[in-house]
A = this chain, B = another copy of it.
Amino acid sequence: MISEPSFVRFAELPLDCGETLKDVQAAYESWGELDEGKANAILVLHAFTGDAHAAGIDHEGRPGWWANMIGPGKAFDTDKYFVLCVNVLGGCKGTTGPSSIDPTTGKPYGLRFPGITISDMVRLQELVVEHLGIRKLLAVTGGSMGGMQALQWAVDYPAMVEACIPIATTARHSAQQIAFNETGRQAIVADPDFNGGDYYEGNPPARGLSVARMVGHITYMSDESMREKFGRRLRDRESFSFGFGIDFEVESYLRYRGAQFVNRFDANSYLYITKAMDYFDLTAGTGSLAAAMEPADCRFLVISFTSDWLYPSYQSLEIANSLRSRNHDVTYCELSSSYGHDAFLVDVGEQTEIVRGFLARVYKEKRATPRR
């Protein structure tokens, strides 16, 4: 069965910046069936350049970005659970973002799109969940920026979340994380084709966006996984070129991934979403992460990976310890992997076992106390 997005529109979405977006569309996909009490829904939250197509096969034959985690018998077992994924606000895969038409001008927003936050993304998702008649989610989960959204859900809508599974993420973006994002943004705006964000009738800033993606890819892998995958192998040659074409496999890979990315992602979305991540700081205005997480009323499973240097384990441990300090029910697992930040997408063996067990407990206890 082909997995296709559904769309829903909302008249208004108030934003943290003070503005209100009009006529907002959200794209979502889902797998599995809602049970009678609509008590088996799991909201999966995607990472930076992801989309609603988390599972199944789309009409072009592409598997979802978490197809190894979502499906019959998998960690998020669609024989038991209803799994939902919504493209984030600011994105470019069906949900309103800077490439959408501004209803007041009839032209794409470009940089006239208002600044957004992780909390704004969650606010839109809540409307979708409500639209589907779901009063309480069995779980919210995601890796990387998806984990940020999961944490934000637990804090912003405590009565709607039974369990929260943030993976390979942080409670606030660090200086280094901001720095990498800012480099990508500067690569994009440095491209003359960027044209102040108004490039939809011309060429997109392909060279800048490609460079931004190359930087990103390095941070998603680990020193070790790059050595294993590429080492110092040359690409289609026996000796050095002594020029500036491609010598090494790793150069070829990065250029290819950079060039490909341009075909599937909007540069303005890149700017807005990275900024939302950089703004993310659950502790803002509360003094401590423990205080910030105080409103949460759910079980937590926090997962990190040993070789993830973009969202290092100490940031997940900080989340777990803050939750423990206020007696939240929290399990923290640091999983061993050489895949770096990508581990949550590609090295899912142990992650599957742990998520499956955790969800089974939550679901069982929920059914035992249906009116909880």
Q: Which of B111, B115, B187 contacts A241 (CB 8 A)?
A: B115
A191, A223, A230, A278: residue with the most chain B Cβ atoms closer than 10 Å = A223
Q: Is the CB of A250 within 8 A of B183?
A: no
Q: Is the CB of B214 within 8 A of A186?
A: yes
Q: Is the CB of B190 within 8 A of A232?
A: no
A180 within 8 A of B: yes
**In whole angstroms, how far apart are the Cα atoms of A348 and B190 in the complex?**
36
**In whole angstroms, how far apart are the Cα atoms of A359 and B189 in the complex?**
50
Q: Is the CB of B189 within 8 A of A191?
A: no
A251 to chain B, nearest CB (A): 5
A5 to chain B, nearest CB (A): 28
Q: Which of B190, B223, B226, B248 contacts A207 (CB 8 A)?
A: B190
**In whole angstroms, how far apart are the Cα atoms of A207 and B244 in the complex?**
19
Query: For residue A252, which residue of chain B has the nearest CB?
Result: B182
Contact with B along A12-27 (1 / 0, CB 8 A): 0000010000000000
**In whole angstroms, how far apart are the Cα atoms of A208 and B185 in the complex?**
12
Number of copies: 2
Contacts of A221 in B (CB 8 A): 176
A75 to chain B, nearest CB (A): 30
Contact with B along A300-336 (1 / 0, CB 8 A): 0000000001001000000000000000000000000
Query: For residue A111, which residue of chain B has the nearest CB?
Result: B244
Q: Is the CB of A229 within 8 A of B115?
A: no
Contacts of A185 in B (CB 8 A): 244
Chain A residues numbered 94-141 whose CB sits less than 8 Å from any CB in chain B: 111, 114-115
Main secondary structure of the interface of A (DSSP, over half): helix
Query: For residue A224, which residue of chain B has the nearest CB?
Result: B176
A29 to chain B, nearest CB (A): 29
Count chain A residues whose beta carbon lies closer than 8 angstroms to a beta carbon of B.
57
**In whole angstroms, how far apart are the Cα atoms of A90 and B114 in the complex?**
47
Q: Is the CB of B247 within 8 A of A278?
A: yes
A41 within 8 A of B: no
Q: Which of B227, B247, B251, B271 contacts A244 (CB 8 A)?
A: B271
Q: Is the CB of A223 within 8 A of B176?
A: yes
In the complex where A176-B226, A176-B227, A218-B176 touch, is A250 in contact with B190 (Cβ < 8 A)?
A: no
Contact with B along A242-259 (1 / 0, CB 8 A): 111001111100110010
Q: Which of B211, B229, B231, B244 contacts A187 (CB 8 A)?
A: B211
In the complex where A187-B187, A215-B183, A215-B215 touch, is A232 in contact with B192 (Cβ < 8 A)?
A: no
Contact with B along A162-197 (1 / 0, CB 8 A): 000000000011111011101101110111100000
Q: Is the CB of B174 within 8 A of A186?
A: no
Q: Is the CB of B115 within 8 A of A242?
A: yes
**Can you list 12 A-B pairs with a CB-CB distance of less than 8 A?**
A174-B223, A175-B249, A176-B221, A179-B251, A179-B254, A183-B214, A186-B214, A187-B187, A187-B211, A190-B211, A211-B211, A247-B278
